[in-house]
Amino acid sequence: MKKAESASDTLKGMLAIVIASFLWGTTGTAAQFAPQISPLAIGAFAMGIGGVLLCVSARKSLVKDVPILFSTPLTFLFGSACVAIYPLAFYSSMRLSGVAIGTVVSIASAPLFAALLEYFLSKRPVSLKWFISFIFGTLGIVLLAMGKTQDASALSASKDDQVFGVILGLIAGLTYAGYSWAAKQHIDAGAHSKSAMAGLFGCAAVVLLPSLWFTGQNLFDNAINTSVSLYMAVVPMFLGYLLFGYGLRSTDASKATLITLIEPLVATLLAIFLIGEVFKPVGWMGMALVCLCLFCQSVTFPIALKRFGRKATA
């Protein structure tokens, strides 16, 4: 009975992360409809207001779990700093290198960083199933990036901007993995998932929201900018991270970030059909490999493969 409940909880957690990833996959495309807004402003507003909404929705459990969050202050501060840095790096990466590549680099690198954090900080070995899935996912992401056809605006961008965009994407991947790992540590320590996410995001909002004084002058200039800003804060950030926190209850951070590889897949499809970005056939092969990666995470491997995986991590 307990095994059945555990399997059900795991499935629900994975489904919550998948839905969150779908919501996050819309952020890059939404941001493109408001190009007048600075990527720093859109990131700070979305994560900042999202953090405030998370704190309001989790106020009762947050007050109760404050001692748990503060029992490991370095983990809490590390996670909060990662939340604050992530949107600034992520949206700037997309602005410099394009929606598809910016999202791909940021999200594809996160599972590797998450696995490294769990291995070195939590002393948790990497399973063979995760490794196989990561190989499929990484190869798929590389093919996705190769499949992007350069348009006129991309060709006019300097190589320095492209390189800097990729570097910012890697920073976004590291910080994404960082706050996922920190939230998981708090949840494992006994904090409610809402409290863990609200605490980290609320602390980051203290830094992010004041920065809008310098960058947020175009946030509400017209109806489109206002709609994009509010959508980003309420739907992908608030609702998305509620779902992600719920999923972390039964899912390791390395596995959760691996599942979120569906985000660049969604972002790529939206970039193709809504923004008009063109993809070569190799890009579609990459999409198939990302789907295969997600499939590997959602099925049970044969017992023999499980045994081999245990030996490999022993």
- In contact, 106 and 87? CB cutoff 8 Å: no
Task: In whole angstroms, give the CA distance from residue 148 to residue 73.
Answer: 42
- Structure token digits, residue 267: 């972002």
- Structure token digits, residue 68: 């748990």
Note the pLDDT tens digit of each residue in 86-114. 988 987 887 787 766 777 788 778 998 99
Task: In whole angstroms, give the CA distance from residue 54 to residue 245.
Answer: 11
Note the pLDDT tens digit of each residue in 109-137. 899 899 999 999 988 888 888 888 888 98
Task: In whole angstroms, give the CA distance from residue 17 to residue 246.
Answer: 8
- In contact, 82 and 180? CB cutoff 8 Å: no
Instruction: State residue 304's pLDDT score.
Output: 43
- In contact, 110 and 137? CB cutoff 8 Å: no
Distances (CA, A) of 26 to 22, 48, 153, 202: 7, 18, 21, 23
DSSP state of 38: -
- Structure token digits, residue 50: 């999202």
Average pLDDT on 21-48 reads 87
Note the pLDDT tens digit of each residue in 3-29. 555 778 888 999 999 999 999 888 878
Note the pLDDT tens digit of each residue in 215-238. 888 899 899 999 999 999 999 999
Instruction: State residue 163's pLDDT score.
Output: 83
